[in-house]
Amino acid sequence: MKYILPLLLVTASLFGDQTFSMIKPTAVKEHHIGGIIDAIEKANLTIVALKMQTISKEQAEAFYGEHKGKPFYPELVQMMSSGPVVLMVVEGDNAVPALRKVVGSTDPKKADAGTIRATFGKSVGENAIHASDSSESAAREIAFFFN
């Protein structure tokens, strides 16, 4: 029993932290899957699981549940369930902040040059990609889409 925690820590340091990402339907429709994956890998992050599917309105509602009641929520749910998305588990050192950095600000117009949203996003509502905002969100979101 006393070996479990050290074993977990060693395993975590070997494999790095994990985060969750999703290429949004508009970016899939506009053929940016390759460009976005390239940017993630060039940031020295490793994709360890990946699948493509169309998520239901109910899944989109639950996934973005923290935003329920906000003015943009209905549009967000509609957009996220409007076509196929690419779901990914991403691994690396400080994976959560590292991925958020390469993704860029929510508004592509305010995102730093070279970030995924500056390159492939069109507007706040069509900003190409989702990335978990904390380790807790990452764990919840990975469990939501991957067994």
Catalytically active residues, by annotation = 130
Least distance (Å) from Mg ion to the CB of residue 133? Answer: 5
Listing DSSP states for 16-68 in one string gives: -EEEEEEE-HHHHHTT-HHHHHHHHHHTT-EEEEEEEEEPPHHHHHHHTGGGT
Residue 84 contact among Mg ion, ligand RTP, none, beta carbon within 5 to 8 Å by kind: none
User: Is the Cβ–Cβ distance between 55 and 63 less than 8 Å?
Assistant: yes
Residue 91 contact among ligand RTP, Mg ion, none, beta carbon within 5 to 8 Å by kind: none
User: Is the Cβ–Cβ distance between 106 and 112 less than 8 Å?
Assistant: no
The reply to whether 130 sits near ligand RTP by the rule CB under 6 A is: yes
Residue 48: Cβ within 10 Å count? 14
Among 125, 135, 139, 146, binds ligand RTP (CB under 6 A): 125
The reply to whether 53 sits near ligand RTP by the rule CB under 6 A is: no
The reply to whether 133 sits near ligand RTP by the rule CB under 6 A is: yes
Residue 86 contact among Mg ion, ligand RTP, none, beta carbon within 5 to 8 Å by kind: none
- Give SS3 for 103: helix
Footprint on this chain of ligand RTP (rule: CB under 6 A)? 67, 72, 76, 106, 124-125, 127, 130-131, 133
